[in-house]
Amino acid sequence: MKSISLYVPGKTFIYKIDPITKLFYIAVAIIIPIVAPAQIVSYICLAVSLLIILFGKIIKKVLPIISFSAIILVTVVIIQGLFKLDNKTPMFSIGPLTFYKEGLSYALVICMRVFNILFAFSILVLTTKPSDLIESLVRKGLSPKIGYVLDSVLQIIPEMTATMSTITDAQRSRGLETEGKLSTRIKAFFPLIGPVVMNSLVATRERAMALEVRGFNSKREKSFLNEEFKSPYSRVLQWTLTLLLILTILWRILS
């Protein structure tokens, strides 16, 4: 059974950094370009994230994420370039359509921020097991119940998909047509969704009981099988990132 996760196993330096520090990095990489009064900071943040991705050897997995987002960002560039309210200075025209400088530079800022967010999140999700991330958060005070929900959903959704496939096969073997025209698929949807939902409800109730008898609601302080994931420079990195953020905020206030 596959888990819904983008994690790519690896051994580069980025895998040796703990999830909390990576979360710090995401926060800083997103906030600094927004707060900083100079556009150049966005490019610097982007470049830093890109370097981490390159040296972390995860660029191959980042590219599909970027390409998918690029399609959406192209529409942002077109709409802002053409229709932004304060568009005044024409840059170029394609037939009857005129692109304006103000709209395009605003679209560029949006693109930079989106890429910044995507790069920063890619560093976290591609190099951190979801279970490690959630365990780290639970250690830092996240409710174990919320942690469980986040953790289990990654595995239980594929499990439900497998159940759906079993039910589809069972219905098909009894003559239900599930493939073909849209109308055929819609007709097949209701006989399939009923058993899937019922099955999921029953399974959820049984799982809840099984969790209860394993002390899920215990008021005792939870312990952990895995040792806490601590990288040697966690503290230094976290303080450096915090300091950078504070300096950027001061820069913004003083400028």
Nearest approach in angstroms of CB 154 to other proteins is 8
Q: Which two tokens stand for residue 73?
A: 């960002």
Minimum CB distance to other proteins smaller for 179 or for 227? 227
Treating both helix axes as pointing N-terminal to C-terminal, what angle do 19-35 and 130-139 enclose, rounded to 10 degrees?
90
CA dihedral 217, 223, 224, 228 (to 10 degrees): 130
Nearest approach in angstroms of CB 147 to other proteins is 8
Nearest approach in angstroms of CB 201 to other proteins is 11
Minimum CB distance to other proteins smaller for 98 or for 155? 155
CA angle 47, 71, 62 (to 5 degrees): 40
Minimum CB distance to other proteins smaller for 14 or for 138? 138
Minimum CB distance to other proteins smaller for 140 or for 207? 207
Instruction: Indicate the residue type of 130.
Output: P
Nearest approach in angstroms of CB 245 to other proteins is 33
Residue 89 burial class via C-beta count within 10 angstroms: exposed 0-12, middle 13-18, buried 19 and up: exposed
Minimum CB distance to other proteins smaller for 83 or for 216? 216
Minimum CB distance to other proteins smaller for 11 or for 220? 220
Rounded to 5 degrees, φ, ψ at 39 are -65, -30
Nearest approach in angstroms of CB 211 to other proteins is 7
Scanning the chain, the segments in alpha helix (DSSP H) are 19-35, 40-55, 59-83, 101-127, 130-139, 144-173, 182-212, 234-254
For residues 66 and 131, is the Cβ–Cβ distance under 8 A?
no
Minimum CB distance to other proteins smaller for 7 or for 251? 7
Q: Which residues bind other proteins (CB under 8 A)?
A: 1, 3, 129, 131, 147-148, 151-152, 155-156, 158-159, 203, 206-227
Among 102, 107, 116, 104, smallest CA distance to 36 is for 116
Q: Which two tokens stand for residue 135?
A: 């365990």
Give the separation between CA 89 and CA 99, rounded to whole angstroms: 9
Nearest approach in angstroms of CB 26 to other proteins is 23
Nearest approach in angstroms of CB 163 to other proteins is 9
